[in-house]
């Protein structure tokens, strides 16, 4: 998770730097506002892609853990049934 925080911090810093650069550029207000909107849309799309990637990674890990848990439960039930069957056979 530390890498994710670093990435978000860097993206935030780049966004702030770009915004300040556009604000202090010697252009008309209309052009400046358009540039700000374009940059913010670009950064929003980039952030969305990063979050989608992160959520995909989390989802894969969750599914892997869930599958491993199901396998452990199945193995435990099998061992329990084997032990129960063995006890039944020894007591007869």
* pTM of structure: 0.48
Quote helix, strand, coil % in the chain, to nearest 5: 90, 0, 10
Task: Identify the pLDDT of residue 92.
Answer: 58
Task: Identify the pLDDT of residue 20.
Answer: 77
Task: Identify the pLDDT of residue 26.
Answer: 72
pLDDT in tens, the chain (92 residues): 576 777 777 777 877 877 777 677 676 777 777 877 888 888 888 888 888 898 899 999 999 999 999 999 999 999 999 998 888 888 65
For tokens 């202090």, the residue is 24
């Amino acid at each position: 998770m530390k890498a994710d925080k670093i990435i978000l911090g860097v993206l935030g810093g780049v966004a702030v730097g770009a915004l300040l650069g556009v604000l202090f550029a010697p252009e008309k207000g209309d052009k400046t506002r358009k540039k700000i909107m374009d940059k913010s849309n670009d950064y929003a799309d980039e952030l969305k892609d990063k979050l989608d990637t992160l959520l995909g990674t989390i989802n894969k890990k969750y599914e892997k853990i869930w599958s491993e848990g199901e396998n452990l439960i199945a193995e435990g039930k099998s061992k329990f049934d084997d032990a129960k069957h063995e006890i039944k056979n020894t007591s007869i």
